[in-house]
Structures are given as C-alpha cells and as structure tokens.
Structure 1
Amino acid sequence: MNPFKKFLLGVRLYGKAFSFTKEHNLWKYHLLPAFLNLVIFLSVGVLGYYFVGDTIDWLESLVGLENPENWWQKGLSYLVIFLVSVASVLIYLKLYKYLMLILLAPALSIVAAKVQEILHPDRPNEEFQFPQFVSDLKRGLTISLTNLAIELGITIPLILLGIFVSFLSPFTTIIVILVESYFLGFGMIDLRNEFMKLGVKESRETVKKHRPFAVGVGLTMYLMILIPVLGILFAPIWACISAGLGIYELEEGSVTEV
C-alpha cells in the first residue's frame, strides 16, 4: 500500500471505528476514557487560557506595546498576539496529548485489548495479572517520555523559527502539526502493539513502517477534537480503535469486517 493510501486509511477508519463499536457493543468501554479525557482537556485548557494572556501582556510590556499609539505599534501588537496564540495552541496540543497518552493509557489499553480479542478470536485470553499490568505501564511511560523528548527536539526549533521568522510561520506550523500527529498516532498504535506483546524496539519498527498511517490517525483525532463535546469525549477512544483496526489490515493483510 502506497504512503498516501496508508494516510487515507488512518482517516477513513474513524467511520469504521464507530461501526465496529456499534456492531460489537463496546459502548461500556467508552465511559471511563471519555470522562478522564474531558477532565484532562478542560484542565489543560484553563491553564492555557491564563498562560496566553499573561505571556501576551509580558511581551507587550517588554517591547513597550501596552498602549499602541500608531499603526506600526498596533500592527506589531497584533503580530505578537497572533504568534503567541499559535505557539500556545501547539504547546497546548503537546501537553494535552502526552497527559492523555499517559493518564488514559490504562483505560485505552482495555479498549485496545478488546478490539484485538475480537480480531483474533483464536488467541487465548490472558487473565489479569498485576505485575504484568505494572510492567505494561512502565513500558508505555518509557515510550511516551522518549517520544516526547524526540518530538521536542524537532518541534521546539520549528516553533521558535516560526516566531522569529514570521513569514515562515505557516510552513513551520504545518510541519509541527504533522509531527504532532505522527507521535499521537504512534501512541495509539502502541496500545495495540502492547497487547501483541511487542517490545519497545519492535513497536517502534512497526510504527515507522507505517508512518503515513500514524499521521492519518493522529491528524484525524486532532480534527475530531474540534467537534464540540462529542469530539472531546470520543476522539481518543476512536483513535485507539482505528489504530488497532488499521494495523490489523496493514500487518496481516486482512480487511476488518463490521
């Protein structure tokens, strides 16, 4: 499958995730992740709101733009507001994403496991074991923190470049969003890889092999979050299901039926 088709697969499987949920009556698995994601989303949003306002005030006072008197000062003031707002949105998405991936991991792992149990009916079901649960949490945390370090190393220079070289801001913003989307999709795919008992290295190799798919899953989740209420509640869950269904198709060459 070519890269563009892989990307489109990551996008279109959100519709199949809804059908899969309905067909297999997975709604009860949505409740806890939906509630936790709403709390995380709103908490980060409140912090971000105060951060943006304070940052804009600080920058305007730093360059003497608290009370702009002529056209160029007003223009510069609007530019400061725009650039800080763009940077804040990107920082917000990053903070929200990793809090969501870390704090929702146990709940989303249950969803991912249920999807794979349906797709692999011949695979023996494993009983819950607390030591294995703790090991999976450590594994997920290691991957998330490593991904965060890699992502920061890529996106921070791009964000700074967009701020200080303003005409590049649209291009750097697009690249940052795509990078963010990739690592978000990575986290969702890894939930499936965890169930399949893949090690950290094997999981990374699987995701790298299907980078466009990971971007499609992550970008669609970001867009879904823009849907009032429903997007915030269900975006992570459907991203998790979409990732599981997609990797099943890509790795095993089987088309999921609902």
Structure 2
Amino acid sequence: MFSLREVLGAIQSYGKAHTFIKQHKLWKWIIIPGLIYCALFFLGAVFVWGYIGELVDSLMNFLPLKKWLASLGSSFLNFLFILAGLCIRLITLLLYISFFKYFFLIVGSPLFAFLSEKTEAIMQGKDFPFNFSQFIKDIWRGIKISFRNMVYQTALMLALSILAFIPLVGLITPLVAWLVECFYWGFSMMDYSFERKQMSIKESIAFIREHKGMAVGNGLVYYILIFIPIIAPCYAVIAATIHIQQQKLK
C-alpha cells in the first residue's frame, strides 16, 4: 500500500509547479511540446476507442459467448458481460495511454531532463554547468527507466485484462489499472532528480518502493491533466522535481 500523506504531498507539488512556472516564465518549454503531445494523443485515442469495440465483439463471437448467453436468456448475465466488455475497453484505453506516454517520455527525454535540471538549479539558486556527457547520460537513464517501467506495467495490465473477463471481479480492474498507471508515470518523472543525486537505478527503485505514495500522487494529477493535455507532461516533471527537492534528499 501507499501513504495518503505522500500522495497529498505530491498532489500539492503541482500547485507549486504552476506558481514556479509563472514566476520564472517557463511557458515556452511547456506550450510547444504540449501542442505536439495533444495532437498525437487525441488522434491515437480516437483510433483505439473506435476499433476496440469491434475487437471485443469478434472475441465474443470466436468464443461463442453471445450464443451461449442468448440460450440462457438471463438478462442479469447479459448485463454483467456488457459491463465486462466496457471494462475491457477501459483497460485497453489505459494500455494505449501507457504506451503513448512512454513513447513520448522516450522521445521527449532531452526536454524532460533539461526541465528537471533547470527547475533544481533555480530552486538552489545556482547554475549547473552544461555537461554534454552528463546530459546524454541523463537522457539514456530516462530511456532505460521508461522501458523498464513500460515492461513491468504492461505485464500487470495484461494480467488485469484477463481478470476483467471475470464478472464482478472485473469491475475493480480499471481502478487498479489506473493506480498502477499513476505509480509508473510518477516514478518515471521522479527519476530525473534521482539521477542528479547520483542514485543508481537500483537505489531509485528501492526508494520508490518505500515511497509509493509520492509516485502515485504525481501520476494521479497527471491523469486529471489529461483533460488539459497541453500542459500535462511538463507540469508532471517540474512538480516531481520540486517535490523531490523539498524532501531534502542527499
């Protein structure tokens, strides 16, 4: 489980990130990447939502679940399977969001590494001398963490997709999948700060396991910001950096 206090702390860091962005005029680093993210995300989401229904119908016809349900004549069972179909759609949409975000994390890794470093430099009142070699290491570290989290999350999502076929049990799978998604997104955003603190990937994973609430809270607000996708990714990394800095980690 995770600490509610840590979740709330991560949520509050988004308000601080908004104030920070306004105060230091960082909008140019938010708007342009946000527009690109927004356009690509919605095009993909429309495609996935439109075709997943056909996939569910094809699967039910292949298994011959529709004929079996019709032969039983039970309206209650029909209702449960309609709910199961909806859960499968939601799980698949979450899976799409996961893959898309990790794709954008990998492509946007140079920007996120830069934003995290710039945020920390402003907070500490000092400049970090640009080191190309270190910058490349930061980018490569972000890519490795993104791939690692994508693999783990995909495995969990596939397991939850199987559970979604079970009536009643399947009703809670979208919520669990959403929390898993929040956790891994927050983890990816926080790791840019861990790299600058010279924490190894193993140490980073160990810290996140002890402070799951910080990652969940960061990812939770990101999901709310999906409705304002133009600011979601960059706000997440700045909020994560501010939150980590305030923990006084060595």
TM-score, normalized by length of structure 2? 0.85
Which residue of structure 2 aligns with residue 48 of structure 1?
48
Which residue of structure 1 aligns with residue 22 of structure 2?
22
Counterparts of 1:151 and 1:49, CA distance in 2? 20
Which residue of structure 1 aligns with residue 242 of structure 2?
245
Which residue of structure 1 aligns with residue 165 of structure 2?
164
> 1:199-218, aligned counterparts within 5 Å?
199-218=200-219
Structure 1 gap ranges (5+): 254-258
Counterparts of 1:7 and 1:200, CA distance in 2? 22
Deviation digits for residues 171-209 of structure 1, max 9, x if unmatched?
A: 332222111111100011012223444332232233333
Question: 1:58 Cα shift?
Answer: 1.1
8 Å CA contact 2:183, 2:219 repeated in 1 = yes
Q: Secondary structure at the match of 1:251?
A: coil
Counterparts of 1:237 and 1:78, CA distance in 2? 37
> 1:173-252, aligned counterparts within 5 Å?
173-225=174-226, 227=227, 231-252=228-249
Over 3 Å counting, the alpha-carbon distance change for 1:252 and 1:174 in structure 2 is same
Counterparts of 1:197 and 1:39, CA distance in 2? 35
Over 3 Å counting, the alpha-carbon distance change for 1:83 and 1:209 in structure 2 is closer
Question: 1:71 Cα shift?
Answer: 6.5
Q: Is the counterpart of residue 139 in structure 1 residue 136 in structure 2?
A: no
Which residue of structure 1 aligns with residue 87 of structure 2?
83
8 Å CA contact 2:31, 2:231 repeated in 1 = no
Q: CA RMSD in A?
A: 2.7
Which residue of structure 2 aligns with residue 125 of structure 1?
128
Q: Secondary structure at the match of 1:237?
A: helix
Counterparts of 1:211 and 1:84, CA distance in 2? 26
Over 3 Å counting, the alpha-carbon distance change for 1:208 and 1:77 in structure 2 is closer
Question: 1:76 Cα shift?
Answer: 6.5
Number of residues of Structure 1 aligned to a counterpart in Structure 2: 244
Over 3 Å counting, the alpha-carbon distance change for 1:4 and 1:76 in structure 2 is closer
8 Å CA contact 1:35, 1:233 repeated in 2 = yes
Per mean C-alpha deviation after superposition, the further-off stretch among 211-220 and 44-53 is: 44-53
Letter matched to residue 238 of structure 1: Y
Over 3 Å counting, the alpha-carbon distance change for 1:169 and 1:111 in structure 2 is same
Counterparts of 2:84 and 2:183, CA distance in 1? 29
Over 3 Å counting, the alpha-carbon distance change for 1:218 and 1:42 in structure 2 is same
Per mean C-alpha deviation after superposition, the further-off stretch among 94-103 and 80-89 is: 80-89
8 Å CA contact 2:80, 2:167 repeated in 1 = no
Per mean C-alpha deviation after superposition, the further-off stretch among 198-207 and 24-33 is: 198-207
Letter matched to residue 249 of structure 1: Q
Same amino acid, percent of matched pairs: 27
Structure 2 gap ranges (5+): none
Letter matched to residue 19 of structure 1: T
Deviation digits for residues 205-254 of structure 1, max 9, x if unmatched?
A: 333332111100101111221x3xxx11011111111111111112349x
Q: Is the counterpart of residue 57 in structure 1 residue 54 in structure 2?
A: no
Which residue of structure 2 aligns with residue 153 of structure 1?
155
Question: 1:77 Cα shift?
Answer: 6.4
Counterparts of 2:74 and 2:206, CA distance in 1? 54
Counterparts of 1:79 and 1:4, CA distance in 2? 30
